Structure 1
Amino acid sequence: MMTLALVLLLATCAHGCGTPTYEPSVGRVVNGKDARPYSWPWQISLQYLSGSTYHQTCGGTLLAPNWVMTAGHCIGSHTYRVVMGEYDLTKEEGYEQIRSVEKFVVHPGWNDKCVSCGNDIAMIKLSSPVVLNDKVQLPCVPVSGEVAPHDDPCYVTGWGRMDNGGPIASKLQQALLPVVSHSICSSKGWWSSNVKPTMICAGGDIRSGCHGDSGGPLNCRGGDGRWYVQGVNSFVANRKCNTDRKPTVFTRTSSFTEWISDTMLLH
């Protein structure tokens, strides 16, 4: 039986979700490339204050005008702000919507000393709702328990580092990350028991997320042509972001649909 919160969440996503005004430029992308501006309009930039300047630290997904989903490990003791309608971090392009944070709700099962234990998910309530427009929009959310199929051509997006030691990207990046089934990703020589059923793996050959992409979405096109956020960027290999048989690991959104919707209703 669906909770009232889940009904509300699905109702929010039922109309106009996952249909960007500016269609993403997708295809067989090797490594990352600049995304088409505003083609992932639910992607947000989570920034922390250092001195008098805000700095990019994580990504996230706008799920409702006043709620953002990100990774639990992205939340610390800093002062944060959330920027929607962002593309080039080095410029003020006039479409940004900046909000302070009213509250963080980190999943109660998250353990910051054990990222592979799972539950790496958090919700951010914004100080005031954003205005939805052609550059700030909502994705669709998968139903509870849905599993994206093996080799599903999904896309990771974010401003993360182009490699382990490099700087963060100035413009929003995207890369094709085909889904790796749980049976393969959790097998010996891959991530083994570090990957739980509540996680989803993608990539693992010449493409990956990297440091700074954390919290951002795994975008997968559904059979209805809409874009669904199937995952929350959680962790990559320590040695090198692009490591064979070490796909980028995401928190599986569909494993937490009830918790997400209850959080949005009760807070």
Structure 2
Amino acid sequence: QRTSALASIKCFLFGCGTPAVKPDTNRIVNGEDARPHSWPWQISLQVKHGSRYHHTCGGTLVGPRWVLTAGHCIWPGDVYRVVLGEHDMSVQEGTEQIRDILRIIVHPAWDIEHVANGNDLALLKLDKSPILNDSVGVACLPAAGEILAHETPCFITGWGNLYSNVTDSSAFRTWQALKPCTIAAHDVCSSSGWWGTTVKSTMVCAGGDVVSGCNGDSGGPLNCLGQDGRWYLQGVTSFVSSLVCNELKKPTVFTRTSAFTEWLSEVN
């Protein structure tokens, strides 16, 4: 009998969103080096080029064998792996765990030709469960339909460049960065002068101006602290402005995970 991804994830929720190393979120003004392994659910999705693997996107461990990332991070024919427990990509820290991907399930309504239609999600089933420890943990998923209030404080994590919309992978940060951001309510983010009708109700906006997601952050988590003291994956990084990452009134747009509970429950 096959168990759905959501059921598998829910079985593990008792231990989700509680990192052994607490994030340092008090003094951050802009993106900077995150406290090592304080976001233990953040993974590096790596694509094979020749005989080597290279970081291409972020992602989030949401269950013992499940990673949630963006649909636009997946291209047919490419070979991927997941690295967990990573912090500084320039060195071997001894905390890394590498897993092959047994199955890739891209949301059936995702269309790379029409990014603004939404549904920018993909689930990756790992070949085997990672060893959960102080460096590797699971994020919590929000309740179905949950909407965060305007200016709710959250954090983006990932290895993407902080400021410029670069495409050269050598310009990615080698260590995980923490970027504070606040939620922009849908009626604000979808208003004229902001993203307008580009932003759908299944999306959530956060950051913009000084702090935003950028290349290499794609697929990574929008981390928001719940009232229960646990960290929740409220969004999966989808897109930023095509001009610059930090354009005023063009916050990072995330796929809102609470809008896709039904899809998660159908994936086996």
Tell me the SS of whatever aligns to 1:183.
helix
| Cα distance in structure 2, aligned partners of 1:193 and 1:12 | 37
Distance 1:237 1:4, change over 3 A: closer
Q: Is the Cα–Cα contact under 8 Å of residues 8 and 261 in structure 1 kept in the other structure?
A: no
**After the TM superposition, which segments of 4 or more aligned residues of structure 1 sit over 3 Å from their partners?**
3-9
Distance 1:96 1:180, change over 3 A: same
Pairing 1:65–2:64 present? yes
Pairing 1:205–2:206 present? no
Counting only pairs closer than 5 Å after superposition, residues 15-30 of structure 1 correspond to structure 2 as 15-27=14-26, 29-30=28-29
| Cα distance in structure 1, aligned partners of 2:113 and 2:245 | 20
Q: Which region of structure 1 is more displaced relative to structure 2, 183-192 or 15-24?
A: 15-24
Matched to 1:121, the amino acid is: L
Offset of residue 8 of structure 1: 4.8
Which residue matches 1:128?
128
Q: Is the Cα–Cα contact under 8 Å of residues 30 and 207 in structure 1 kept in the other structure?
A: no
Which residue matches 2:96?
96
Q: Is the Cα–Cα contact under 8 Å of residues 206 and 242 in structure 1 kept in the other structure?
A: yes
Which residue matches 2:145?
145
| Cα distance in structure 2, aligned partners of 1:149 and 1:7 | 28
Offset of residue 37 of structure 1: 0.2
Q: Which region of structure 1 is more displaced relative to structure 2, 23-32 or 179-188?
A: 23-32
Q: Is the Cα–Cα contact under 8 Å of residues 30 and 206 in structure 1 kept in the other structure?
A: no
Distance 1:4 1:161, change over 3 A: closer
Q: Is the Cα–Cα contact under 8 Å of residues 8 and 63 in structure 2 kept in the other structure?
A: no
Tell me the SS of whatever aligns to 1:86.
coil
Offset of residue 73 of structure 1: 0.1
Pairing 1:179–2:183 present? yes
The count of corresponding residues between Structure 1 and Structure 2 is: 261
Pairing 1:35–2:39 present? no
| Cα distance in structure 1, aligned partners of 2:211 and 2:226 | 22
| Cα distance in structure 2, aligned partners of 1:24 and 1:172 | 12
Offset of residue 10 of structure 1: 2.9
Computed over aligned residues only, the root mean square deviation of the Cα atoms, in angstroms, reads 1.5
| Cα distance in structure 2, aligned partners of 1:6 and 1:82 | 20
Q: Is the Cα–Cα contact under 8 Å of residues 5 and 66 in structure 2 kept in the other structure?
A: no
Q: Is the Cα–Cα contact under 8 Å of residues 223 and 234 in structure 2 kept in the other structure?
A: yes
Which residue matches 1:154?
154
> What CA deviation, in whole Å up to 9, does each residue of 1:45-74 have, x standing for no partner?
000111121100000000112110000000
The unaligned stretches of length 5 or more in structure 1 are: none
Tell me the SS of whatever aligns to 1:145.
coil
| Cα distance in structure 1, aligned partners of 2:15 and 2:25 | 20
Q: Is the Cα–Cα contact under 8 Å of residues 142 and 229 in structure 1 kept in the other structure?
A: yes
Q: TM-score, with normalisation over the residues of structure 2?
A: 0.94
Pairing 1:255–2:259 present? yes
Tell me the SS of whatever aligns to 2:180.
strand
Identify which of 217, 228, 231 aligns with 1:224.
228
Q: Is the Cα–Cα contact under 8 Å of residues 37 and 87 in structure 1 kept in the other structure?
A: yes
* Percent of aligned pairs with the same amino acid: 54
Q: Is the Cα–Cα contact under 8 Å of residues 154 and 179 in structure 1 kept in the other structure?
A: yes
